[in-house]
Chains A and B, each alone.
Chain A
Amino acid sequence: MRAVFLILFASALMAGDDVPAWVREAAAQQTPTYPAKVAKVTLLDDASLTIQTDGRQISHERVAVKMLQHTRDVPTAVCFYNPKTGKVREFQAWLLPPSGKPTTFGKNAVVDQSLSNSYEYEEERARSIEPGGNLEPGTVFAWEIVDEEKTPFPDDQHSFQGADPVLTSRYALTLPAGWVASATLFNHATLPPAVSGTTYTWELRNLPWIEPEAHSPAMHSLAPRLGVNYYPEDPATPAARPVKNWHDLSVWAAGFFDPPAAVTDAIRAKSAELTAGAATELDKIRAIAAFVQKTNYMAVAINMARGGGYQPHAADQVLARHYGDCKDKATLMRALLKAAGIESYPVVIYASDRQFVRPEWPSPNQFNHAIIAVRISPETKLPSVIDHPKLGRLLIFDPTSQVTPVGNLPEDEQGSYALVIAGRDGDLVAMPVLPANLNRIESAAEGQLKPDGSLVAQLRRQYFGQSASYLRHMALFGQHDELKRTFEESLSDRLGGLSLDRIEPTDRMADDQFGLNMDVTVKQFGHMLQGRLLMVAPGALARGSYRFPAKPRTAPVRLNAAQFQDSVNIAVPAQFKVDELPDPVKVTGDYGSFSAKWKAEGGKILFEQSIELKDTIAPAADYAKVRAFFDQVDSARNSSVVLVRQ
């Protein structure tokens, strides 16, 4: 198969001198010296978008990348498109080696690939040209793409760089006569555009390398990016829907979301069936939520040319087929609630990063997920409730998450901005951030240390809120063996050879708790020295924590609120007594607090540890402080109690 692929590829390549002047000009530039890890630099990233009065967007992109070192991380020219709403008009690429003939990549070199392997009906596709491996330093790979997209959204977003450094990054927006644009630049100082006629141009130069670092915000929160809205200056022009604020967007989106949530006989009957035994408003919500959570998830996008990403299926269709995507589930839940006399609103949000949505740019392009806000009475009290000035008390709930009960919210959605779609009353609101103690993990270990250093122990862990999500998912989907393997591996990493003799999960999802009881035998928990000293680190039975390397930091450190409480109680063998205990530790910092203490009491070693992390983004300048905090946590975890033979 590979040979066939390559033979086809061969016909797509042409050696020639038809390299455009802009590529040669870009390639002629000198590049500064970068850190040793930087393998390539973008010489030019020149993007332009031309808006037609009928809503079509013509996008034109020119990019030139220079290889600085040999690397497997070679650049790829990629163009994303949706065949239902757009087409790629031109796609060409060129490879200029430091010496020898340049290569032109023709259309047969283009790989056209579906982006959705597991979702049904999704039509997102990508076209790409790869220059191949083993590119010599000094090689320039350049490409030019012209594509057309018909979209109902009169806005656009543009990222000025990825991780690689960039010499020149430009974005130009050309509007029809009589149209105007407003823009917001994120992750960068204010930069007014150069305006010429109806063309607005933003240009950034010498953008530095963004090193991937653990616990850093996502790339789209670090790299400069632009959000633009455009619309006819004259409001009477019927060419496009102006989106000037979040209310406008709410009104527009309600047109998609509300009709499919209509209550039909089938919906009414199902709602009545589900809530038959429900005594309170909360009971009804929980019964309906549980049913919708069990509806199979499947991505289903229809009617893309008219904003199909915002078009749910009718609730009774979702009910009948028993599957749907996030907006389908939200719609089904709304209809079932409505039939039960409870009002609710769809909410659109960005699913995997709470920092992504920016309030200063009203745009539907900021969202990729739909959840629900349920209007509740004062009697219903739950942590994931917000007070909306016009809509009242709203219970925020994600029916797509099968592991998050009513009253909680997936971690990456907490604190994110989200659009509550409620006509003129709709608005962008901040999602609730649940306090750390609601997502805490309590751990208790009770063990018997043997004279040879081995340990038999029972570990009991109680996971609250979002800390339970991962384990609940495993338990819910019957992955008991996987659960056992996961703990065997993580405990072995800290404790060495062991046997996990029993693992018993207990899920109390309605109470937002997940319990885990484990019996373990650790071969060498205590390290015997000279046959008379036994060193034990009780903290090794506690949960692990973060570790940060000793190196300069460029990105902020992102920490989510968390709370861990550990207690360890180890019976000492009769032949030994405690000779040394570590000193208690208490640290309070800007980002959290930590305390640990060790006691010897009644032939036992008692260890207690408490960690609380605040929901924080620490600036890179404070990295040393963050590191010092977690180093102390790690050090305490590894601190040993010295037992001596008596």
Chain B
Amino acid sequence: MTSQFRGRAAFPLALLALAGTSAIAAVPVVTADNYWLPITDAEMQMKAPVVDPKAGIEALFTRVHVADGYNSAFYRTSVHYVRLKVFTQEGKDKAANFDIPYDKDAAISNIAGRTIKPDGTILELSKDAIHDRVTVKLGGMKRMSRSFAMPGVEVGSIIEYRWREISEGLNIKYLRLQFQDEFPVQRATVFVRPLTKEYVSGEMAVRPFNCKPSPMKLENDGFNSVTLTNVPAFREEPMMPGEPNVRPWVLVYYDVGENRKDPDKYWVDVAKKKYSEIRESMKTSGELKQAALEAVAGAKDDNEKAVRLVRWIHGHVRDLFSRQVSDEERADVLKKMPKDRRRTSVEAFKSGIATSDEMNMLFAALATEVGLNARPVMVANREDVTFDKRMVESLFLRSIDMGISVGGTWKLYDVSARLLPPGMLSWREEAVPALVTDPKKPEFIISPVSTPADSLSARKAKLALAEDGTLEGDVSETWTGHAAERRRHNLDGESAERQQESTKDEIVKVFPQAEVTTLRLENADNPEKLLELSYHIRIPNYAARTGKRILLQPLYFQRGEAPVFTNADREYPVVFPYGWQETDNVTIQLPAGFPLEKPESPGELTFGKPGSYKVTMSTGKSKLIYTREFTFGNDGLIAYTREGYPQLKRIFDEIHRRDEITLSLRQAAPAGGTQ
């Protein structure tokens, strides 16, 4: 979890003096790219990596010096210096060439590099081995990179290289610096030197995340440094928390003109300011008011009013960045967008295309017109750093949703989440702190978390088994909530015919021998309705034949499902995106002359509060009926520590084991015979 450590530069800075300044150019001197640091005997003789014994290459150190300056515009100078040691052939391969990508607003210079071979020979990176490439160019925009190949790299070599990057005209208030790289790092150091007091108020602060670097130290050259040692290489895992929650990094930022000592006061100020800014844009018109009143006419309560307004907006306004809008339309809207202010709700409505924030502002404006109490709400994002209000940094509350007060409780709406039913938030915005803005009394709330029942997969199959193992019959499936949204997302943008074809392909992937006919997929584009699928299927050899038995896996919907967790080891916590529920009903007509051999049910599995698993079985006349109910994520229990991984894996393995239950049908003996 997020460390509460907060390092600060040891020198206070004066008030911000940004606009219209005519101060003499203040150019910071960064000399970190003028020299190579001495190579020690220990580094030369190092035979094995320190951080990760299996690593083929390891950084002995990485250093970045960051200095800000002003010279008619603000700019930032970063000098990077990396020293690597190659231990294996794999490491040698990784160290073959390097790419430094940069944008038009940045300049890369002073690239230098050298290879120190195991015998001490030094090969300098020659200038002709450094190449510029424009990787992407669109109109005046360019994305470029400088590339170079290190000479004579072999196992045992030390490689070091450095470069200077100068960025101009950017928002220099925030800088995220990673300690972690693609290879392990023995010692990662960040050196920072802020703008002088003539240009900025407050202090430059360094806040570490997911690590405990050394205390900030003032160096002789005026830089302040923090160091982190023994940083392993980054490795991705399925269902891991958002990267900013697991990778070690630091946020370098200016504590400009905001009182952060009292978090409560800080957030009140932020919320009031945001309310005022957004309120200005929520202006409506007579036409809009009339439309809003017509949309909610006859609604029985405030909830229904809100839902109808969302529906109305979806019918009249398209999301600027969705696939519903062509590039041509998008470009036209962006071209006409005011440069110095937000568009008002009326302007956004008239264009018929709006940004996510504008759609939400339009919603709030309309809601206000019909008498609902609406407020802009600043919401955290689960894919970014886990928010804590003591972080006193509005950078981490960037999304704007709208809150409607219903019975004294704030209900949140994100109108731009068009693949979810109104009132349901993206899972990224569920169960996170949200700041309800207000001119007088802002408040923090926790955004609602959907229940597993909100993301339901309900499936039915009515099938018949033949003597040769063929299974044939009708299948229907429905999905709601996030479970439906995930499927809708995959189908989005395709015609109904192509949606059906791709759905059929998914089924055939599970049952390659199957023939799928009469497939119907309904409501793929309407999140207010159940996403429905039905089809007829015929699967030869579904059940295995032995000499006298048919071996049948009755849980049709679980056939072919891979285990959720396959790896024994786990580095990071597990976070499921949302809780979910599955209810299945499978009826199988059995072939005559093949009675079941004492069929069993996988029964019930209890694993406490997070959920439940239960399978029941009943038999009728040559008929087998299975029902399966599985729920996971009750009470928002969707996040688990790394230590809890083995237990979590055991639960899901056990469910997988039970889902694979096999039944035996034994051929009845001929009349008068014996078995």
Q: Taking beta carbons and an 8 Å cutoff, which residues of A are in contact with B?
A: 2-13, 36-37, 39, 69-72, 95, 103, 108-114, 116-118, 120-121, 130-135, 137, 294, 296-298, 320-323, 402, 476-481, 484-485, 488-489, 492-493, 496-497, 499-500, 523-524, 527, 529-530, 533, 535, 537, 547-551, 580-583, 631, 635, 638-640, 642
Contacts and interface: CB of A to CB of B under 8 A. Distances in A.
Nearest to B330: A6
A477 B90 contact: yes
Nearest to A495: B563
A103 B326 CA distance: 12
> Which 7 residue pairs spanning A and B have beta carbons closest together?
A132-B327, A497-B653, A10-B331, A69-B495, A530-B598, A477-B90, A10-B335
Nearest to A12: B139
Contacts of A37: 497-498, 501
Contact of B99 (A6, A36, A118, A549): A118
Given A13-B331, A72-B493, A120-B149, 6 more contacts: A95-B328, A120-B148, A132-B330, A296-B96, A485-B567, A580-B549
Interface residues of B, number: 86
Interface in B60-93: 88-93
A43 to B, nearest CB: 19
B299 to A, nearest CB: 31
A297 to B, nearest CB: 7
A111 B330 CA distance: 17
A582 B469 CA distance: 15
A4 B544 contact: no
A170 to B, nearest CB: 29
Nearest to A627: B513
A533 to B, nearest CB: 6
Given A635-B544, A639-B546, A132 B326 contact: yes
B55 interface: yes
Contact of B656 (A12, A133, A496, A639): A496
Contact of B495 (A71, A481, A640): A71
Contact of A72 (B91, B323, B649): B323
Contacts of A6: 327, 330-331, 334
Contacts of A36: 497-498, 500-501
A527 B663 CA distance: 9
A294 B92 CA distance: 9
A34 B114 CA distance: 60
B241 interface: no
Contacts, number: 243
B657 interface: yes
Given A37-B498, A70-B494, A134 B326 contact: yes
Contact of A69 (B133, B324, B498): B498
B151 interface: yes
Interface in B279-303: none
B85 to A, nearest CB: 14
B566 interface: yes
Interface of B: 54-56, 88-93, 96-97, 99, 129, 131, 133-141, 147-149, 151-154, 235, 321, 323-332, 334-335, 492-495, 497-498, 500-501, 508, 512-515, 540-541, 544, 546-549, 551, 562-563, 566-569, 597-600, 649, 652-654, 656-657, 660-664
A633 B649 CA distance: 32
B326 A133 contact: yes
B476 to A, nearest CB: 21
Contacts of B563: 492-493, 496-497
B56 to A, nearest CB: 5
A114 B324 contact: no
Given A69-B495, A120-B97, A488 B662 contact: no
B55 A478 contact: yes
Nearest to B662: A527
Contacts of B147: 120
A110 B547 CA distance: 67
Given A120-B97, A496-B660, A478 B598 contact: no
A508 to B, nearest CB: 16
Nearest to A641: B546
Contacts of B508: 549-551
Nearest to A477: B90
B335 A478 contact: no
B548 A580 contact: yes
Contact of A10 (B136, B332, B598, B661): B332
B338 to A, nearest CB: 13
Nearest to B332: A10
